[in-house]
Amino acid sequence: MLHRTIHLFRKELRLHDNPVLLAALESSEALYPVYILDRAFLTSSMHIGALRWHFLLQSLEDLHKNLGRLGSCLLVIQGEYETILRDHIQKWNITQVTLDAEMEPFYKEMEANIQRLGAELGFEVLSLVAHSLYDTQRILDLNGGSPPLTYKRFLHILSLLGDPEVPVRNLTAEDFQQSDDKTHVRRIWDMRCRAPDPDLAERYRVPLPVDLKISPESLSPWRGGETEGLQRLEQHLTDQGWVTSFTKPRTIPNSLLPSTTGLSPYFSMGCLSVRAFFYRLSNIYAQAKHHSLPPVSLQGQLLWREFFYTVASATPNFTQMAGNPICLQICWYKDAERLHKWKTAQTGFPWIDAIMTQLRQEGWIHHLARHAVACFLTRGHLWISWEEGMKVFEELLLDADYSINAGNWMWLSASAFFHQYTRIFCPVHFGKRTDPQGDYIRKYLPILKNFPSKYIYEPWTASEDEQKQAGCIIGQDYPFPMVNHKEASDHNLQLMKQVREEQHRTAQLTRDDADDPMEVKVKLDRSEENISKRKVARTTE
Ligand code: FAD
């Protein structure tokens, strides 16, 4: 029997490598592609800032257009998901609901509720994993039911599992068209959407930001959607030399445009398939004489993603300190004023403030820039909980992700995974190494743009006359540093040392010093150096 199906898009907002949508089409005579915009659900699960709302709406609009090209369309229904499903299951005589399987507790709970509804109303539920390379449960099973807690162990388990499943084929208009040939599966986009109720598509159109009262000013230069994501991906993959020599620690945190792929917002919302990217990389590696390896290679980055998904999927209270068995229990300071200064780019350290400004304006910052501001907030200078930083990132990042965000915040605060805690990033020297002229700071903090390069990272050391000449008086137009770097970092180092001695066993749980991708020593030869430079030049055009 062929089904009448609601396909519920949740995170996999794409038509390429979408296994559950393909399965839905193959098993249905009528298919309703639906996105339920349940604002209460979305905002109670994670903080979503204006930039990400825009990105989400752009991604939905793009999905709608791409479905339109195949003879279908996206129905965006606003309201509480259970009420909407209950209502439309009956209205449309639905016999099956298909959806992407996600691993976050709130999405799992949603799926369980839909299963319950299915049992009550008599429809079937089909869900498939498409957001990660593997079904994380398979990794847990192979590791004896618990998550591998180091990257090395994780890679070992993957070597037993073999390659991830290959991506499914792209969908075509044929998949959505009615076939009169009775030997074929009839796959139709229900005529009701066009004929008896022509208003349906219009009634359930993708809302505009103004409909959701989202400020039109908060627009990131990153445009959401599968189309944009695929274009960016293709652009990167054409430079095969760059792909094969990609070495994460060598990428530049303060180039004016991303020195890494910048694909994270697209992976995060499922506009891009991580499996498709993984296999494209495999093909390029297969044709190359040499290529970099995990943890620093591009595939290695995707495996970090997978690593955090796996650990998060089976660690209680993963996004908080209390009740989280792998996380050090630390008495962080509670200081709303200092937190606010960090969040709003008023620390008085131009490197930190420029990064936080880029984050607020664009919703994306480089991995090492994330390192700098996360270390500063937590174990480095302010001794404020990583949970506070995680919440700010959650609100501001386009790529905000439940597992990756929390995992990396634990890492940077040395609460789990990372153990070289004596290495504290200096907010003056870190950025100088790759941008001695301070072009990045000049771009994001224009108030400082007229300072000579020797002062750009520490403008408070300029004389009064020099400050006047630069048109910016420190303490008046731009703040003095909120802490003394040496005093604060020395003090916090002692605190961290004490915590780690007291909680030695927890500290060992996720310890493997070979895991640190930034510690991998790499020799630059001239040609590779040129490749890195070319990449930055290309992206800054
Ligand atoms: P590339 O270097 O081009 O890597 C390709 C892809 O691999 C990325 O798009 C991403 O999906 C994945 N990836 C790369 N680095 C990591 C990593 N360290 N951990 C897990 N996956 C990785 N990434 C998010 O996607 N969402 C988050 O919420 C997030 N929060 C972070 C918070 C902190 C404190 C830190 C230090 C890092 C965080 N990251 C997060 C990880 C990383 O910084 C970003 O994934 C990366 O910078 C995105 O840029 P890219 O796409 O150019 O990465």
Note down pLDDT in tens along the chain; length 541 residues: 899 999 999 999 999 999 999 999 999 999 999 999 999 999 898 999 999 999 999 999 999 999 999 989 999 999 999 999 999 999 999 999 999 999 999 999 999 999 999 999 999 999 999 999 999 999 999 999 999 999 999 999 999 999 999 999 999 999 988 654 433 334 444 443 433 355 788 899 999 999 999 987 767 889 999 999 999 999 999 999 999 999 999 999 999 999 999 999 999 999 999 999 999 999 999 999 999 999 999 999 999 999 999 999 999 999 999 999 999 999 999 999 999 999 999 999 999 999 999 999 999 999 999 999 999 999 999 999 999 999 999 999 999 999 999 999 999 999 999 989 999 999 999 999 999 999 999 999 999 999 999 999 999 999 999 999 999 999 999 999 999 999 999 999 999 999 999 999 999 999 887 767 765 444 333 333 433 443 433 322 2
pTM: 0.94
**Could you give all domains of the chain from N- to C-terminal order, each with its CATH number?**
1-130 (3.40.50.620), 132-168+227-314 (1.25.40.80), 336-534 (1.10.579.10)
Q: Quick check: helix, strand or coil at residue 147?
A: coil
What DSSP string describes 337-366? HHHHHHHTT-SS-HHHHHHHHHHHHHS---
- Asked if 20 contacts 9 with a C-beta cutoff of 8 angstroms, the reply is no
Which protein residue has the closest C-alpha to ligand 1 atom 37?
Answer: 408
* pLDDT for position 532: 41
* pLDDT for position 78: 97
The C-alpha atoms of residue 398 and residue 57 are separated, in whole angstroms, by 12
Which protein residue has the closest C-alpha to ligand 1 atom 47?
Answer: 367
Which protein residue has the closest C-alpha to ligand 1 atom 20?
Answer: 305
Distant-in-sequence, close-in-space partners of 509: CB < 8 Å, separation ≥ 6: 149, 325, 326, 416
Distant-in-sequence, close-in-space partners of 233: CB < 8 Å, separation ≥ 6: 261, 263, 266, 272, 277, 280
Distance 482 CA to ligand 1 centre (A): 28
- Asked if 225 contacts 58 with a C-beta cutoff of 8 angstroms, the reply is yes
The C-alpha atoms of residue 309 and residue 405 are separated, in whole angstroms, by 10
Q: Quick check: helix, strand or coil at residue 113?
A: helix
* Nearest by Cα to 24 from 164, 142, 123: 123
Ligand 1 atom index nearest CA of 409: 34
Pocket of ligand 1 (CB under 6 A): 248, 258, 260-264, 267-268, 301-302, 304-305, 308, 366-367, 370-371, 374, 393, 397, 399-401, 404-405, 408-409, 412
Q: Quick check: helix, strand or coil at residue 441?
A: helix
The C-alpha atoms of residue 41 and residue 284 are separated, in whole angstroms, by 41
Ligand 1 atom index nearest CA of 268: 25
Distance 312 CA to ligand 1 centre (A): 15
The C-alpha atoms of residue 455 and residue 472 are separated, in whole angstroms, by 12
* pLDDT for position 519: 59
* Nearest by Cα to 100 from 176, 169, 211, 18: 18
Total residues found in the chain within this entry? 541
Does residue 401 come out as left (phi exceeding 0), alpha (psi in the -120 to 50 range) or beta?
A: beta
Cα dihedral 120, 126, 130, 135 sign:
positive
The C-alpha atoms of residue 146 and residue 328 are separated, in whole angstroms, by 19
Distant-in-sequence, close-in-space partners of 78: CB < 8 Å, separation ≥ 6: 36, 37, 38, 39, 207
Q: Which of 242, 245, 255, 264 to mutate to test the pocket of ligand 1 (most atoms within 8 A of CB)?
A: 264
Secondary structure letter of residue 380 according to DSSP: I
What is the separation of C-alpha 427 from the centre of its chain, rounded to a whole number of angstroms?
25
Which protein residue has the closest C-alpha to ligand 1 atom 23?
Answer: 404
Distance 52 CA to ligand 1 centre (A): 16
Does residue 216 come out as left (phi exceeding 0), alpha (psi in the -120 to 50 range) or beta?
A: alpha
